Amino acid sequence: MGKKIKDPGLGNSSAQFAKRMINKDGSFNVVHVNKKRRFSEAYNFLIGISWWQFFVLSFLSYIIANVFFASIYFFIGIEEVTLSQRNVYKDFVNAFFFSAQTFTTLGYGAMAPKGMASGIVSSIEAFLGLMFFAFTTGLLYGRFSKPKAAIRFSKQIVFREFRNGQALMFRIENNRNSTMIDPKVSVNLSLSKKNKKGEYVNDFYVLKLERQTIRFLPTTWTLVHLVDKESPLFEFSEETLLKQNGEFLVLVSYYDESFNQEVHQMYSYLISDIKFNYGFVKAYYYNEKGEMVLDHKLFDCVESLKS
């Protein structure tokens, strides 16, 4: 049996129906409750959400702001902006269009404030519009420039015969065309067990890899853990291993030339994800010109090794 290690930061407490610790996107599976919201966290939130969420949120903020100011122009009197159409819907739409032109500081000239009240409101709106677009531009730059790893992990983790023994394997590749320099991989195993007090606790082990680092990664890299007497998986048969409530916690770090700094990415596999007696299909080959070809469609492909 492998040697236990101290809690790497995920906590020793567990539960009978505890879910995975690390999500597929690399985030920790932690639900925060009773946490105070801070405005200073807005930047990190807006930088971290997906692109479609960012654009939807930006568009909704733009619409809400213009509806708010359009309502003010409407109640002040649309006559202070343009001629009334004697129709509530058309007058509000005109107020919205004027608000949009003011908010974006565009101004076509067809509508303009004609009174003191509308002049004051439009001046405030123009200022807020400038602030809004400056803030959005800063967020766009931050999202593009934020260092982020682009490691692709195989969907499968396999357990197979290897070198007169057995081994656990998964593989990774770079999802960008940039060069990965000195990639390093570490894998911890978390096993949730019931102790003598009837409480569920996590035991952590380090999985020793055949190679933990390489110089660069232009194609794919298959990570191999030999299941020998020093492995925490050695005592389990195929049947008993699948009954364990466990998770393989993977951390990859490398120097990315695009950002000129080291980046990190996490991932995890559940013990229940293991495919026994399967091997990975080779994902790269050489064409007639002698060029190395990496077929990304083959990256997740596995084949049965049963005779």
Q: Which residue has the tokens 């007639």?
A: 288
Residue 247: partners with Cβ closer than 8 Å, 6 or more residues away: 20, 21, 22, 189, 190, 268, 269, 270, 271
Q: Are residues 168 and 20 in the same domain?
A: yes
CA 46, CA 267: separation in Å to the nearest integer?
22
CA distances from 14 to 26, 50, 120, 192, 290 (A): 20, 30, 59, 6, 53
Q: Are residues 80 and 161 in the same domain?
A: no
pLDDT at 19: 84
**CATH number of the structural domain spanning residue 170:** 2.60.40.1400
**CATH number of the structural domain spanning residue 84:** 1.10.287.70
CA 147, CA 260: separation in Å to the nearest integer?
9
Tokens of 245: 């409530």
User: From the CB of residue 266, how many other CB atoms can be counted at a distance below 10 Å?
Assistant: 19
Under a CB-based contact definition with an 8 Å cutoff, are residues 240 and 224 in contact?
A: no
Q: Are residues 158 and 118 in the same domain?
A: no
Q: Are residues 291 and 191 in the same domain?
A: yes
Q: Are residues 43 and 23 in the same domain?
A: no
Q: Are residues 175 and 289 in the same domain?
A: yes
Residue where a domain terminates, one of 125, 145, 165: 145
CA 7, CA 192: separation in Å to the nearest integer?
13
Residue where a domain terminates, one of 145, 169, 187: 145
Q: Residues for the chain: how many in total? A: 307
pLDDT at 299: 92
Mean pLDDT, contiguous 10-residue spans, the chain (307 residues): 76 81 85 78 84 94 95 90 87 92 86 88 93 92 84 93 92 85 93 82 91 90 93 90 91 87 92 93 89 90 86
Q: Are residues 276 and 128 in the same domain?
A: no
Under a CB-based contact definition with an 8 Å cutoff, are residues 182 and 254 in contact?
A: yes
pLDDT at 44: 83
Query: Domain range spanning residue 19?
Result: 4-30+149-304
CA 170, CA 221: separation in Å to the nearest integer?
9
Q: Are residues 182 and 265 in the same domain?
A: yes
Structural domains of the chain, count: 2
Q: Are residues 159 and 266 in the same domain?
A: yes
Q: Which amino acid is at 301?
A: C
- Beta bridge pairs of residue 165: 162
User: What's the burial of 180, exposed, middle or buried (CB within 10 Å: 0-12/13-18/19+)?
Assistant: buried
Q: Are residues 19 and 76 in the same domain?
A: no
Q: Which amino acid is at 261?
A: Q
Residue 112: partners with Cβ closer than 8 Å, 6 or more residues away: 81
Q: Are residues 137 and 25 in the same domain?
A: no
Residue where a domain terminates, one of 97, 114, 145: 145
Under a CB-based contact definition with an 8 Å cutoff, are residues 280 and 158 in contact?
A: yes
Q: Are residues 298 and 171 in the same domain?
A: yes
Under a CB-based contact definition with an 8 Å cutoff, are residues 223 and 185 in contact?
A: yes
